Amino acid sequence: MTLKLPRAIYLLSVCNGFLFINQSLLITISALIGFELADDKRLATLPMALQFAAIMLTTVPASLFMGRFGRQAGFLLANFIGIAGAVIALYSVFNRSFEGFCIATLCFGIFAAFSNYYRFTAAELVSNEQKSVAISWVMAGGVLAALIGPNLANWSSKTFDSEPFAGPFLILIGVYVLSIFTMLAAKLPPPERTDSNAVVRPLSEIITQPVFVVAVVCQMLGYATMNLVMTATPLALHARDMGMDSTAMVIQWHVLSMFAPSFFTGNLVKRFGLIPVLMTGVVAGLIVVAIHFHGETQAHFVAALILLGISWNFLYVGGTTLLTDAHTQSEKSRTQAVNDLIVFSTVTLSALSAGALHHEFGWRVINLTVLPLYAIAAGVIGWLYLLKHRQVLPTPN
């Protein structure tokens, strides 16, 4: 039952909602801003790629910072950096500066790198039996993003007549301020002092565990495939003469499907186990490709992006839950940092390549590209299944 979860879990869920309001709003407009401001249109998705590059480069220092100063200090610092990014983005849009907008997205990436640890923080506040449910509830906060984010991009685009892309960043400043007050109310515990006598395994031993490998691959490929298709979607819609209203609606349904399953993903894991949930995520991703090859109407985009969100949810939440079995309390900072470094390195590559792939080869090649990635994910999940049935996998104490 989720009724006994600590109050901080629900506040973390709200903060995660603010994170993905930021993300969904940027997904809706970032490639379009890049396309408008960049002289070389192949660089349209560079700002989004730089955001993920900042996430990649900040994940390790963010984890180490919070290991020393605490989760709450790290999350508050991240929100102030986000505010700075929104101010820079406002200036850049009004002054037609592609370089300035790229700097702003680096700030958004630093904010996201810290905030991505909300899910791990939730797992640390509950018992082992409640981990999957706590992680799911925090991820469920993203439903706020689905209901608000893309519509904010659409509604706020009318704030400034001269610059339709400026309004969303004014709204983002308010989102960051709300996130700061919510985080203060969460009152997260101070950092735990690790036992100096605790056995800490070498990092090489931790990352070669089958549970670590499968957890990382599922998160990495689940996120990268979703991000590749999602980042290119506004460009694909634009190429088919669908306006901002259509783009906002497609992204809204996609983001909703990313997070709404989180209300029951944790319970599905508890009832059926991790492996069936992970494999369902792969199957959903394959159906996405089939839908996109069937047609290119708005209805096709909506249906495919809904399934894409479900695929991401099952692979990302499932992989995150599995990762908590790969480390002890004293090993968590390093293990989580390496996990997110690997995951967001791949996500950065997917974001960077989305614009160029779409510009050079088109929408169908984008979809073909994800097929081998889903095949790899299915392979490692099958490998974990065989290991579980042939032997007892060791887990940290």
Per-residue pLDDT of the chain (397 residues; tens, 9 = 90+): 445 789 999 999 999 999 988 887 887 788 888 888 888 877 887 888 788 789 888 988 998 899 889 999 999 999 999 999 999 999 999 999 999 999 999 999 999 999 989 988 998 898 888 888 888 889 888 887 777 766 776 677 667 777 777 888 988 999 999 999 999 999 898 877 655 566 788 888 989 999 999 999 999 999 999 989 988 888 888 888 787 678 778 887 888 898 889 888 888 888 888 999 999 999 999 999 999 999 888 889 999 999 999 999 999 989 998 998 888 878 888 898 899 889 888 887 887 788 778 878 888 899 999 999 999 999 999 999 998 887 655 555 4
Half-sphere exposure of 230 (CA within 13 A, CB side): 35
Q: Which one-letter DSSP state was computed for residue 162?
A: S
- What CA–CA distance (Å, rounded) separates 381 from 171? 41
CA-closest candidate to residue 10, choices 169, 240, 187: 187
- What CA–CA distance (Å, rounded) separates 160 from 354? 30
9-190+203-390: CATH architecture:
Up-down Bundle (1.20)
Instruction: Report yes or no: 139 and 81 within 8 Å, Cβ to Cβ.
Output: no
Token digits of residue 322? 């599995």
Runs of H (alpha helix) within 240-362 = 244-259, 262-272, 274-294, 298-323, 332-361
Token digits of residue 100? 């300035």
Instruction: Report yes or no: 118 and 19 within 8 Å, Cβ to Cβ.
Output: yes
Distances, alpha carbon 66 to alpha carbons 85, 297, 304, in Å: 21, 46, 38
- What CA–CA distance (Å, rounded) separates 397 from 127? 14
- What CA–CA distance (Å, rounded) separates 95 from 33? 12
Q: Which one-letter DSSP state was computed for residue 1?
A: -
Instruction: Report yes or no: 133 and 266 within 8 Å, Cβ to Cβ.
Output: yes
Distances, alpha carbon 388 to alpha carbons 204, 221, 346, 385, in Å: 22, 22, 27, 5
Token digits of residue 68? 């020393």
Residue 223's SS3 state is helix
Counting Cβ atoms within 10 Å, is residue 173 exposed (0-12), middle (13-18) or buried (19+)? middle
